[in-house]
Structure 1
Amino acid sequence: MTADRKPRPAWAVRLQAERRKRLWSQKHVAARIRDAADPGLRATLPEIESLVRAIRRYEAGTHRPDDPYPALLSRVFGIDEVELFADAPQPATPVQPPPDLMEQVASVTGRRVGDGIVTDLSARVHGLRLADDVLAGGDLVEPAFRELATARRIYRGSVHTERVGRRILGIVGECAQIAGWIASDAGQPGRAEQTYRLGIEAAREAGDRVLEGNLLGSLAYQVSNLGDPRDGVRLARAALEATGPDAPPRARALSWDRVAWANARAGEAQATMRALGEASDALAGGARDDDPGYLYWVTAGELQVMEARAYTELRRPLRAIPILVDVLSRYEATHARELALYLSWLAVALIDANEPEEAAAVAARMLELSADVASDRTSRRASVVLGRLEPFRDVPQVRDVLASHA
């Protein structure tokens, strides 16, 4: 039984905590390990992907690092090797806001600010988005809300022109969107909804309808997943209307994607298909010079994933499975949360296709990946997958998965 499993060793917990404290991905740590090695040793080290797999095992506590990795990890984290790999737990140190954030707020209070502060804030918010690509909500929620608080204080506490003020409000809205997304992934939907609504008001005040539509769409996505899907459809339609017909193609594609998912959750197959077609047509318009930076991830591959998820939700596995297999064959292993989520949809589609043995193999990989990801989304999907496997308990492969992850 899983209740009899031994807790992770203190050194494994510490390795993970030190990485997350720095907002580093496992791939980033792997690259730093290679950089920390002397040239002669570096030539003998495995490639990045192999190091990432090793780091995953270290953090899970299933394998203790052998030489030369303890010394290299000590250099990477700047912590004495004996302290880093001590078997006894050490008291946690409270996380303090980074000094530069506090200095930034203090330096502009009561002073006139211009475009430079907007550029700086925008870069920090985009850094959060990039971190969210490889880290989960539980890792990022507090840093995200510190950034949001900083942007709001700068807007309220500084002197600026109307134009600069609108730009700062836009940054507040963008920060609210990624902070809300992260809060939702951290299992804080109430906080996420409140943050999305704050961002919607900031975007409206800034006169940025595309950003308003993005925030409404993010809220629609959460409501579709956790609330009444019919409310999700209404919100997704409102997001599409706010985005407007003249928005950049990727913004229109994302809005239609949210409409498709909300309808799939509501069981409206025809409306789902129409919205998926509209999303694809919109994206065919290509990128534009005025595309907001927060749309960088809206690609043909991501639309494929949504299409496959919608087919799975509508119990059409024969359409979903080929798309998911194709997407997963090209997906980066370092994006553990997304990879686990997409595997969960493939597992469910295989169950619907009456392929429990294959579903069990995919589920086992999904559960292994998500075991160490601080994401409420992956936790919920793991529960769904295990629940859907339960009727096939008599199949040996399924029984093994259920026994390992009871």
Structure 2
Amino acid sequence: MAEAGLTPRTLAREINRLFGSGSLAETAPYHWRDSGGVPRPPLPALAAYVISRRLGRIVTAGDLWHGQPKAADGTLVVAASTGMDGPWTLANTMLIAEDWLLGGLVDRRMFLSVSGAALAQAVTIYLDQHLPAGGTVLPTATPDDPLVDQIEASVPRLQLLDDERGGAAGLGYVGAQVRAVLLVLRDGGHTDATTHRLLIALADLAQLAGWKALDAGQQGLAQRYYFTSLRAAHDAGYRSMEAHVLADLSFQSASLGDTSDGLRLGDAARRLADRSPASVQASVLSRLAYANAAAGRVDQCERAWTESRDQLAKRHPDRDPGWMYYLTPNHLDCQAGYAMILAGRQAAAAGRRTDGRTLLRKGESLLRTGAYARRPDVPYQRRALYEGAWLALGYATQGKLDDACAVTRMALPRLDKVRSPRSTALLRALTQELRRRKRNQTVADLLPELDNALARQPA
């Protein structure tokens, strides 16, 4: 801990930041350090993860609790970028495929998310200012490949499942589909057209697996899938997916507080998307807006949001990739809404209360147009839960407690259907905000229901 520059409290706060508020009491690491206490799994692995991330090298639970067999749960911590720094060739992609296949369906590795130099090394080809010219390449029809037809047909169905049930629902299944496509690729003997279609399908599925892992709070696993998707998309000349994944990585970095990485990746995604359909460019710009908000660059955030709306107005639906089905002007507005609530909370925490209130009001105004009040029996329930959690948090930050409680009550029924640890982490942060105001009767009435709903969420 000393080498990593962590006190017991800052270690606990970092674990809570990365794995969800309430994962650990802030005083618990004092007992580990000063009294030789050994926490129950998975806390040893989580502590090792955080310390490894700070030090830039792998530290295992056994290193921290030497000679304590209870501390080791069989998990091997591996950097998400391991093996991802080789040449950008199909041969190297197949080496990465072999690694996934050797890991098996019950993969005992915990992937450590990376930042800074390690992250840059994994995506170095995209950080060059002079990207090669080219555009989106779509799958070539080859009617003699019914297996590839089946693989391709499964992707949109899995995307819709993610919209309804959240990232933690079916993540293992989507990961198994990634491995299945890798297995087919490794078997070889395909025509060039079939290999190309398989690479497209692999890029689509690995991006989806990465997004689901991010929503499930498994940040290192998300990066590992994203890096795999980038490799496959690059091999296929699938430019729009490359830009889409870089934007996802930008959003992830910004969400984790790695704002310089978020800005750098967001800018690379914007440059790469230059020749992509307007909808892809709009989506990429919306992620860059969030990265700017996280970095406190509010003017740049609003500029990127405006540009994203302008791009979407140029949309030609017949040119859209299938996975851009969800993007609407309102979706862009709501993404800007929670970006502004994030920036507003940061400004308020820094003592800039006037700036904070202005941003929070803008964010609330945008999110009120969104999905938070959607009935539980209509589509896009994960979006409704996530936006509702942000809106309630924005209200609570301003002391609008009746509004915060009303929006939270709309969100609670969704927790029985949607498994989205990313959303429940926001609700846990909201719980902490509300506890400080529990003298308010509306808050006091809500807190037991909120606590019970969160306690029912799977570990």
| Unmatched segments (≥5 aa) in structure 2 | 1-104, 107-141, 345-358, 452-459
Once the two structures are superposed, the pairs formed by residues 2-401 of structure 1 within 5 Å of their partners are 114-243=144-273, 245-315=274-344, 316-328=359-371, 331=374, 333-334=376-377, 335-370=380-415, 373-401=418-446
Show the counterpart of 2:123: none
Deviation at 1:235, TM superposition (A): 1.3
Compared with structure 1, are the counterparts of its residues 363 and 127 closer, same or farther at alpha carbon in structure 2 (3 Å cutoff)? same
Distance 2:258 2:446 in 1: 31
Q: Deviations over 1:300-334 (max 9, x none)?
A: 12112112112212221222223222223774534
Distance 1:178 1:255 in 2: 16
What is the identity, as a one-letter code, of the residue corresponding to 2:371? Answer: L
Q: Deviations over 1:44-95 (max 9, x none)?
A: xxxxxxxxxxxxxxxxxxxxxxxxxxxxxxxxxxxxxxxxxxxxxxxxxxx9
Distance 2:242 2:416 in 1: 35
Superposed CA RMSD in Å reads 2.3
Distance 1:252 1:119 in 2: 28
Compared with structure 1, are the counterparts of its residues 328 and 187 closer, same or farther at alpha carbon in structure 2 (3 Å cutoff)? closer
Show the counterpart of 1:31: none
Partner SS state of residue 328, structure 1:
coil
Q: Deviations over 1:192-243 (max 9, x none)?
A: 1101101101111111111111111112222221241221121111122222
Deviation at 1:113, TM superposition (A): 8.9
What is the identity, as a one-letter code, of the residue corresponding to 2:360? Answer: P
Percent of counterpart pairs with the same letter? 28
Distance 1:240 1:167 in 2: 25
Conserved 8 A contact 1:126-1:294: yes
Conserved 8 A contact 1:113-1:159: no
Deviation at 1:404, TM superposition (A): 3.5
Q: TM-score, normalised by structure 2?
A: 0.61
Which stretch of structure 1 is more off in the superposition, 379-388 or 189-198? 379-388
Partner SS state of residue 201, structure 2:
helix
Distance 1:372 1:197 in 2: 30
Deviation at 1:338, TM superposition (A): 1.9
Distance 1:343 1:329 in 2: 4
Deviation at 1:403, TM superposition (A): 3.7
Distance 1:398 1:200 in 2: 46
Compared with structure 1, are the counterparts of its residues 403 and 254 closer, same or farther at alpha carbon in structure 2 (3 Å cutoff)? same
What is the identity, as a one-letter code, of the residue corresponding to 1:365? Answer: M
Deviation at 1:355, TM superposition (A): 1.3
Conserved 8 A contact 1:237-1:259: yes
Conserved 8 A contact 2:164-2:418: no
Compared with structure 1, are the counterparts of its residues 222 and 332 closer, same or farther at alpha carbon in structure 2 (3 Å cutoff)? farther
Conserved 8 A contact 1:357-1:395: no
Partner SS state of residue 381, structure 1:
helix
Which stretch of structure 1 is more off in the superposition, 333-342 or 258-267? 333-342
Conserved 8 A contact 1:301-1:327: yes
Partner SS state of residue 168, structure 2:
helix
What is the identity, as a one-letter code, of the residue corresponding to 1:178? Answer: L
Deviation at 1:371, TM superposition (A): 5.2
Compared with structure 1, are the counterparts of its residues 262 and 207 closer, same or farther at alpha carbon in structure 2 (3 Å cutoff)? same
Structure with the bigger percentage of helix: 1
Partner SS state of residue 280, structure 2:
helix
What is the identity, as a one-letter code, of the residue corresponding to 1:157? Answer: D
Partner SS state of residue 326, structure 1:
coil
What is the identity, as a one-letter code, of the residue corresponding to 1:321? Answer: E
Distance 2:448 2:375 in 1: 29
Conserved 8 A contact 2:257-2:294: no
Q: TM-score, normalised by structure 1?
A: 0.68
Partner SS state of residue 297, structure 1:
coil
Q: Deviations over 1:143-184 (max 9, x none)?
A: 101111111111221322223312211110110000111122
What is the identity, as a one-letter code, of the residue corresponding to 1:192? Answer: A
Deviation at 1:114, TM superposition (A): 4.5
Which stretch of structure 1 is more off in the superposition, 195-204 or 211-220? 211-220
What is the identity, as a one-letter code, of the residue corresponding to 1:338? Answer: R
Distance 2:373 2:407 in 1: 16
Partner SS state of residue 296, structure 2:
coil
Compared with structure 1, are the counterparts of its residues 186 and 273 closer, same or farther at alpha carbon in structure 2 (3 Å cutoff)? same
What is the identity, as a one-letter code, of the residue corresponding to 1:284? Answer: A
What number of residue pairs does the alignment pair up? 296
Distance 2:375 2:271 in 1: 34
